[in-house]
């Protein structure tokens, strides 16, 4: 395993992904992970990520001694480089100029740069820089503002780069990471999706035996791929449960039913529309809505699984589509109390309430890896490339109280927006798009009549992971067409607006 130690950079997960994309297994641990945690992963190489701190600050994260005692190659990136230099007695100082963006890197002959040109573009993002190298280190790459942009020690076991090889703005960045892992650390390739699928299938069969597994199917990519994997592994002993909350998009339930019928997988569909709507009656606060939906979901799921348990007797497991970022997220938030903006843990508490053991086949995977598995297992493209959809569904896209009427209007308007995006080849170009129902009314004129109706807001964003987002610059002509269609076709709407705020300061969803 390539162990990546996290010093807090927003790019840390990318390092892990890039290394895996090249066919080498990598995992992420916090910088202050214990020696045992690191050793348990059989580390072959260590990468220290970037981070926001300065090495000379009090309480700055540092390079633990045991890392050096492992006697395996180390690559420090940005802050990782600086903390290595600091550790070995070199000098790091505030740079006279903050370096952010492209820089041209000139490199020397070195295994790290094997097969690369002598000069190429790299991505810099730092305000401190190395001023003096420690004993035994020398320069293998420099840029105009960073004379020590890439360094190594004499034995070639410790490397550091000031730029970010993990971001796509660095030309050959992935190649540099691959060189480090394969040339410097001499690691053999050990990560291939098809092998992973084989392994997981065998593992699930071994763990589950002849017992049964239930699974909450949302229709999203992750749970759909889990359902597919379980089907391959244990066939009819896997029971996916789909809860119709009534807060889904137009025809969504039918589409999920249809898709899984085509895949030859039986699913249990629970119609809980009334129950959700009743519980949401009169509730306007977004977090309150999330709570109610979460609890209602757990209740419905619990009751359904108890009925199934009565029927079959041998249900022993609950499968979940938990992904690696979720695991990292919850580990991070265990360590530090982040300001609570929104609760995204829709069904937290579900596993505790159910008398089943948990199976999480994707707990070490990233979303695009799960997409790859879906593709290999034959999940239709339209399901693989579906935009993210929040657990509380349309409830957080209807501002204020959720009513039947608002749901109907929103479903219809949203459907038109998405349909047009697809028709105009724009759906795959935005990260997420949807309509929002605003419970205010404005005056309009249609034909010779005055109208006094609701407003629909359209939202489309480009993002990498939903943490930050830019509003999508959709063509005016396109927006014009969507707005016209919505006002003409959706009863109760006479005005359409387009949301042009990015995240931050806004969030993607309106609630
Ligand atoms: P925000 O609105 O926080 O959204 O900028 C970021 C991403 O998360 C989704 N989202 C949620 N997902 N439960 C979820 O499962 C939630 O309560 C929730 N709130 C927002 C949102 O759709 C976007 O993709």
Could you state, in order of their start, the residue ranges of all structural domains in the chain? 2-184, 193-384, 403-498
Residue 346 CA to ligand 1 center (angstroms) comes to 10
Our mutation pick for probing the ligand 1 site, out of 289, 326, 469, 508, counting the most ligand atoms within 8 A of Cβ, is 508
Residue 389 has pLDDT above 70, yes or no: yes
Q: How many CB atoms lie within 10 A of CB 506?
A: 15
Closest Cα to atom 21 of ligand 1: 390
Percent of the chain with pLDDT over 90: 83
Annotated binding site for ATP: 218-224
Q: Would you state the pLDDT for residue 96? A: 79
The answer, yes or no, to whether ipTM is higher than 0.90 is yes
Ligand 1 atom with minimal separation from the 432 CA: 24
Return the structure tokens found at 330.
Answer: 């919850």
Calculate how far, in angstroms, residue 298's C-alpha sits from the geometric centre of ligand 1: 19
Of the candidates 461, 457, 447, which has an alpha carbon nearest to the alpha carbon of residue 493? 457
Given 3-state DSSP classes, what are the helix, strand and coil percentages for the chain, each rounded to the nearest 5?
A: 40, 25, 35
Q: E strand or H helix at 318, and its extent?
A: strand 315-319
Q: Quick check: 74 and 46 in contact, CB under 8 A?
A: yes
Q: Looking at the predicted structure, is the pLDDT value of residue 402 above 90?
A: yes
pLDDT tens column, 48-91? 999 999 999 999 999 999 999 999 999 999 999 999 999 999 99
Mean pLDDT, the chain, integer: 94
The CATH class of the 403-498 domain is alpha beta
What the block records as the tokens of 465 is: 């992971």
Count of residues making up the chain: 511
Instruction: Give the count of beta carbons closer than 10 Å to the beta carbon of residue 311.
Output: 9
For position 333, what pLDDT does the model report? 60
Above pLDDT 70, what percent of the chain?
97
- Structure-derived torsion over alpha carbons of residues 472, 473, 475, 476, reported in degrees to the nearest 10: 110
Residue 28 pLDDT: 92
Residue 338: pLDDT over 60: no
Q: What is the pLDDT of residues 316-337, one digit of tens each?
A: 999 999 988 787 777 666 655 5
DSSP string computed for 36-95: HHHHTT--SEEEE---S--TTSTT-----HHHHHT-S-EEEETHHHHHHHHHTT-EEEEE
pLDDT reported for residue 7: 95
pLDDT at 485: 98
Domain pair 2-184 / 193-384, same fold: yes
Best CATH choice for the domain 2-184 from the list 3.40.50.880, 3.40.50.1970, 3.30.9.10, 1.25.10.10: 3.40.50.880
Distance 344 CA to ligand 1 centre (A): 6
Q: Are 157 and 178 in contact (CB under 8 A)?
A: no
The CATH classification of domain 193-384, taken from the options 3.40.50.2300, 3.40.50.620, 3.30.565.10, 2.160.20.10: 3.40.50.620
Mutation choice for ligand 1 from 248, 285, 320, 342, CB with most ligand atoms inside 8 A: 342
Given a contact cutoff of 8 angstroms between Cβ atoms, the answer to whether 108 and 140 are in contact is yes
| pTM to 2 decimal places | 0.83
Pocket (CB within 6 angstroms of ligand 1): 290, 342, 344, 346, 388, 390-392, 396, 432, 466, 503, 507-509
The residue whose CA has the least distance to atom 6 of ligand 1 is 466
- Give the residue-averaged pLDDT of 390-399: 97
């Amino acid at each position: 395993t390539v162990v990546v130690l996290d010093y807090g950079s927003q790019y840390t997960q990318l390092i892990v992904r890039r290394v895996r994309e090249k066919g080498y297994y990598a995992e992420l641990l916090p910088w202050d992970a214990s020696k045992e945690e690191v050793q348990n992963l059989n580390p072959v190489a260590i990468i220290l990520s970037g981070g926001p701190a300065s090495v000379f600050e009090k309480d700055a994260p540092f390079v633990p001694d045991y890392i050096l005692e492992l006697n395996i190659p180390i690559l420090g990136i940005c802050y990782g480089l600086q903390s290595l230099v600091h550790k070995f007695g070199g000098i790091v100082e505030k740079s006279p100029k903050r370096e952010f963006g492209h820089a041209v890197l000139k490199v020397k002959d070195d295994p790290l740069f094997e097969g690369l040109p002598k000069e190429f573009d790299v991505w810099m993002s730092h305000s401190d820089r190395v001023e003096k190298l420690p004993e035994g280190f020398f320069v293998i790459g420099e840029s105009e503002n960073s004379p020590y942009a890439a360094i190594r020690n004499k034995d070639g076991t410790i490397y550091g780069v000031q730029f970010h090889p993990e971001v796509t703005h660095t030309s050959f960045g992935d190649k540099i990471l691959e060189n480090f892992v394969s040339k410097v650390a001499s690691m053999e390739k050990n990560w291939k999706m098809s092998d992973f699928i084989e392994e997981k299938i065998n593992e699930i069969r071994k763990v589950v035996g002849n017992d049964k597994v239930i699974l909450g199917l949302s229709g999203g990519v992750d749970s759909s791929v889990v359902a597919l994997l379980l089907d391959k592994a244990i066939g009819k002993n896997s029971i996916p449960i789909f809860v119709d909350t009534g807060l889904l998009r137009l025809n969504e339930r039918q589409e999920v039913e249809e898709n899984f019928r085509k895949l030859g997988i039986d699913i249990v569909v629970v119609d809980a529309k009334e129950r959700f709507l009743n519980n949401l009656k009169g509730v306007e606060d977004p977090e309150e809505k999330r709570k109610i939906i979460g609890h209602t979901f757990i209740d419905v799921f619990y009751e359904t699984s108890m009925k199934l348990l009565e029927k079959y007797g041998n249900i022993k497991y609950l499968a979940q589509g938990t992904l690696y970022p979720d695991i990292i997220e919850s580990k991070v938030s265990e360590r530090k109390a982040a300001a609570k903006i929104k609760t995204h843990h829709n069904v937290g508490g579900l596993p505790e309430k159910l008398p089943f053991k948990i199976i999480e086949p994707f707990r070490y995977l990233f979303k695009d890896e799960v997409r790859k598995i879906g593709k290999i297992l034959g999940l239709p493209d339209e399901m693989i490339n579906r935009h993210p959809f929040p657990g509380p569904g349309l409830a957080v896209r209807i501002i204020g109280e959720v009513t039947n009427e608002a749901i109907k209007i929103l479903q219809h308007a949203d459907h038109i927006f998405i349909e047009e995006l697809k028709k105009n080849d724009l759906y795959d170009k935005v990260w997420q798009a949807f309509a929002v129902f605003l419970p205010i009314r404005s005056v309009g004129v249609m034909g010779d009549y005055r109208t006094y109706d609701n407003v629909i807001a359209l939202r489309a964003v480009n993002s990498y992971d939903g943490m930050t987002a830019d509003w999508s610059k959709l063509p005016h002509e396109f927006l014009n067409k969507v707005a016209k269609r919505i006002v003409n076709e959706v009863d109760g709407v006479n005005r359409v607006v387009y949301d042009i705020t990015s995240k931050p300061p806004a969030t993607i969803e309106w609630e």
